[in-house]
Amino acid sequence: MNYKHALTSPIFQVVSKSADELGVDCYVVGGFVRDFVLERGREKDIDIVAIGSGIELAKRVAKNLPNSPKVQVFKTYGTAMIRHEGVELEFVGARKESYNEDSRNPIVEDGTLEEDQNRRDFTINAMAISLNSATYGQLLDPFDGLQDLTDKCIKTPLDPAITYSDDPLRMLRAIRFATQLDFEIEAASFNAIKEQSHRIEIITKERINVEIQKILESKKPSIGFILLEESGLLQRIIPELTDLKGVDIQEGQKHKDNFYHTLEVVDNICNHTDNMWLRWAALLHDIGKAPTKRFSKKVGWTFHGHELKGSKMVYHLFKRLKMPLNDKMKYVQKLVFMSSRPIVLAQENITDSAVRRLVFDAGEFVEDLMTLCEADITTKNPYKFKKYHNNFKLVREKIIEVEERDQVRDFQPPISGEKIMETFDLKPSKEIGIIKEFIKEAILEGIIPNEPEKAFELMLKKGTDLGLTRADEK
Ligand code: ATP
Ligand code: MG
């Protein structure tokens, strides 16, 4: 079969010419071919395999390109990379791999194209298109990856038990591709993943993270998290999530399954944001519910303080997964901590002061918090669903209104401590804090607008109540 029409980018002509000059066979393989067939429209990274030295081929390609781009050589891996017009071209020599039990780093030898295709993870990733002029565009698809693309099926070229055991990262890649492409993992493959799930322990956290991140970037991450759970992998990677699974019943009272609820929230939020950290917040917003779950005959199931507990757990989870412990983590923590706040507003009358307090506490994250809380509405009762959404719409309108008047988002006290000290001729003392707090509360409650004159009047009144005398009256 000829796939010349996949090779529209002029770069392929340059690679073709270079390979012919060197007398080596070469092919474009992997994701590029797969995504071309799937019409996923991407040419960001292109993998080229040479039957010989990938590094030499890369150097020749660079020489033949008009601007002679730099070749980045990774000697240990025998690969080379060229960046050309926003595309990353990765060159590698065809290879054969053999594995040890306790490492995912194989012993690598030069190999044929066929051996190179054998070592690839999935049939849909093992297709190659020839680039040499004599066979330009010829598709080499020994495992019928094309058929699996049509069938939306993920399976390994060789025995799945060996493929996953050799490199357990492939288990996560299988689930990640199933999520990104909305494909099924073949039963034999999924069984092998279940059996090998414990082998994920030999994979570094960084590599695990890349895959989790890609699952969370997908249109419908629940596909991936359900597969992770069913395979036993999630238990080993993010047990905080599997701990949310299940419904307990006592005295005829039950609570919802917080694992599946969480996944619904994540899918919901993906329709409204590409912000990865907001998606993480959705994934983790209820993790405090497992350790805080209690039952009492009077009130049924409770999860008191789960928001605070959850936000603390975020830190430990990020640390364990070697995720950044920076402002992104703090953002996730804050959203988890505040994740129940707007819910009260959705159920009750919305007062200005409640909204003002919400904006004051959430600060710059208030809109993201609203997006999270809207996604959190998973009730199947259409009346409640509509009511909560309408209320949140009102809250959003009120946020704008209240912001125009009082600017409490990035609250700056309208009266400074210095001004208070000066007015009452005070040394630093607790009265200053009391007055400042009193003014802030008055603004949040809507007793006075956030204006210096009004705040000044209130300061005088409060100062008098505290028994202070104005400096100019002394
Ligand atoms: P994407 O870049 O969209 O994530 P991709 O298929 O290009 O998808 P890469 O990780 O860039 O994935 O890898 C390129 C190719 O290398 C894959 O298509 C596959 O053939 C092969 N490959 C990558 N990782 C593995 C692995 N762990 N085991 C076997 N083959 C792999
Ligand atoms: Mg790739």
Q: What percent of the chain has pLDDT over 90?
A: 81
Looking at ligand 1, which atom is closest to the CA of residue 119? 29
Among all ligands shown, which has an atom nearest to the Cα of 49? Answer: 1
Alpha-carbon distance 434 to 168, whole Å? 60
**Residue among 442, 444, 418, 445 at smallest CA distance from 432:** 418
Q: 327 CA to middle of ligand 2, Å?
A: 29
Regarding the beta carbon of 47 and ligand 1, being less than 6 Å apart is answered: yes
pLDDT in tens, 372-384: 999 999 999 999 9
Burial class from Cβ neighbours inside 10 Å (0-12, 13-18, 19+) for residue 218 reads buried
pTM over 0.75? The answer is yes
Which residue, judged by its Cα, is nearest atom 2 of ligand 1? Answer: 31
Strand (E) or helix (H) holding 185? strand 184-185
Given ligand 1 and candidates 48, 121, 202, which is best to mutate, with the most ligand atoms within 8 Å of its CB? 121
Parallel, antiparallel, or unpaired for β 107-110 and 128-130?
unpaired
**Residue among 83, 105, 89, 99 at smallest CA distance from 30:** 89
Among all ligands shown, which has an atom nearest to the Cα of 213? Answer: 1
**What φ, ψ does residue 289 adopt, rounded to 5°?**
-75, -30
Higher pLDDT, 180 or 446: 180
Domains of the chain, first to last = 4-151 (3.30.460.10), 152-237 (1.10.110.30), 417-473 (no CATH)
Burial class from Cβ neighbours inside 10 Å (0-12, 13-18, 19+) for residue 67 reads exposed
Which residue, judged by its Cα, is nearest atom 6 of ligand 1? Answer: 31
Alpha-carbon distance 358 to 361, whole Å? 5
- Gyration radius from the chain CA atoms: 30
State the chain's mean pLDDT as an integer.
93
Span 455-470, average pLDDT: 92
Q: What percent of the chain has pLDDT over 70?
A: 99
Which residue, judged by its Cα, is nearest atom 10 of ligand 1? Answer: 31
pLDDT at 442 over 90: yes
Regarding the beta carbon of 95 and ligand 1, being less than 6 Å apart is answered: no
pLDDT in tens, 252-293: 888 889 999 999 999 999 999 999 999 999 999 999 999 998
Regarding the beta carbon of 167 and ligand 1, being less than 6 Å apart is answered: yes
Among all ligands shown, which has an atom nearest to the Cα of 210? Answer: 1
Regarding the beta carbon of 121 and ligand 1, being less than 6 Å apart is answered: yes
Strand (E) or helix (H) holding 89? strand 87-93
Q: 45 CA to middle of ligand 2, Å?
A: 6
pLDDT for residue 299:
84
pLDDT in tens, 118-137: 999 999 999 999 999 999 99
